[in-house]
């Protein structure tokens, strides 16, 4: 006998309400970030303690929740951790960045890009052109200098890699030789610049890589607190406000924060990033 509801969208969307109700307890535990007493857990989930207890018993059998035998408090269990880590492992910064870059481009009216660390350094992997009478374009795959571009400076300030320091030193050496100046002076100036970038939460550059082009770049962090990408906004010098608190600067910071959040940064158990671990020259 044919199923008259097989193509009914409303029927297809029907689920198991008890699972949806019980999941409220898991959400409360995840948001709280620490073990909870039954009464507090139930209250925050909007249900009675007796009802919450029944759900928790089932969740403990599944490994989603565990209870401390001494304090009686409940926390997320081993299976919940496995699910979380499996989900994080599937996150793709490039794919998730698409809507974030589109939104940033629309908000600022500037060309925006996503860069990641590749075999040769900070590499542009995606960009969105703003359009208009004068446009700034990038090429996917281009490697950006660490000391002469907004994107590169963001990596220099926040990224951790055993190769980062030697790449920065090689750039400084080449720059010192080309400009006939002492390497030590350039290193001191760069250290001061990186300290300012960390304080502001993003980097900026004007005309140092491409004449007439300015940019901001903000770091993107994953669930471990490590920088995995940079979001950059680029524009024509005459029309690009380089103030640290300009609308473009703020929007670039916010876009990087949104992508970081989608990659798990700031979630329960996140390892707080340590700026002192970044690649100072």
pLDDT at residue 269 in the model: 41
Spell out the per-residue pLDDT of the chain, length 281, in tens.
455 544 555 555 556 777 888 889 998 988 877 889 999 999 999 999 999 999 999 999 999 999 998 999 999 888 887 777 676 566 688 889 999 999 999 999 999 999 999 877 898 989 898 876 556 767 788 889 999 999 999 999 999 988 898 899 999 999 999 989 999 999 999 999 999 999 999 999 987 667 788 999 999 999 889 999 999 999 998 889 999 999 999 999 999 999 999 998 975 443 334 444 455 66
Which residues are CB-contacts of 172 (< 8 A; sequence separation ≥ 6)? Answer: 147, 183, 186, 187, 190, 281
Do residues 38 and 56 make contact, with C-beta atoms less than 8 angstroms apart?
yes
Question: Taking the CB of residue 210, how many other CB atoms lie within 10 A of it?
Answer: 15
CATH topology of domain 9-89: Arc Repressor Mutant, subunit A (1.10.10)
Domain ranges in the chain?
Answer: 9-89, 93-277
Do residues 80 and 22 make contact, with C-beta atoms less than 8 angstroms apart?
no
pLDDT at residue 273 in the model: 45
Q: Kindly state the tokens that stand for 259.
A: 């992508």
Do residues 95 and 239 make contact, with C-beta atoms less than 8 angstroms apart?
no
Pick the CATH number of 93-277 from 3.40.50.970, 3.90.550.10, 1.10.150.120, 3.30.450.40: 3.30.450.40
Instruction: Give CA–CA dist 264/231, Å, rounded.
Output: 17
Instruction: Give CA–CA dist 99/96, Å, rounded.
Output: 7
Residue 47: which H helix or E strand, with range?
none
């Amino acid at each position: 006998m044919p199923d008259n509801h097989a193509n009914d969208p409303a029927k297809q969307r029907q689920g198991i309400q008890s699972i949806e109700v019980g999941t409220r307890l898991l959400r409360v535990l995840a948001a709280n970030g620490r073990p909870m007493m039954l009464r507090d857990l139930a209250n925050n989930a909007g249900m009675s303690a007796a009802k919450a207890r029944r759900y928790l018993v089932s969740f403990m059998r599944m490994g989603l929740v565990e209870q401390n035998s001494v304090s009686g408090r409940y926390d997320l269990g081993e299976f919940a951790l496995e699910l979380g880590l499996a989900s994080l492992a599937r996150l793709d910064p490039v794919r998730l960045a698409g809507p974030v870059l589109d939104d940033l481009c629309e908000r600022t009216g500037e060309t925006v890009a996503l860069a990641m660390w590749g075999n040769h350094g900070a590499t542009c992997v995606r960009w969105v052109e703003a359009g208009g009478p004068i446009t700034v374009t990038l090429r996917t795959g281009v490697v950006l200098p660490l000391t002469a571009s907004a994107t590169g400076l963001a990596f220099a300030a926040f990224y951790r890699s055993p190769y980062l320091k030697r790449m920065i030193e090689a750039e400084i050496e080449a720059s010192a030789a080309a400009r006939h100046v002492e390497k030590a002076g350039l290193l001191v100036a760069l250290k001061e610049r990186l300290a300012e970038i960390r304080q502001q939460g993003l980097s900026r550059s004007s005309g140092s890589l491409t004449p007439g082009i300015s940019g901001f770049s903000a770091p993107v962090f994953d669930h471990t607190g490590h920088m995995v990408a940079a979001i950059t906004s680029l524009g024509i010098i005459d029309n690009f406000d380089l103030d640290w608190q300009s609308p473009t600067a703020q929007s670039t910071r916010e876009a990087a924060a949104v992508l970081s959040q989608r990659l798990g940064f700031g979630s329960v158990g996140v390892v707080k990033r340590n700026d002192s671990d970044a690649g100072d020259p």
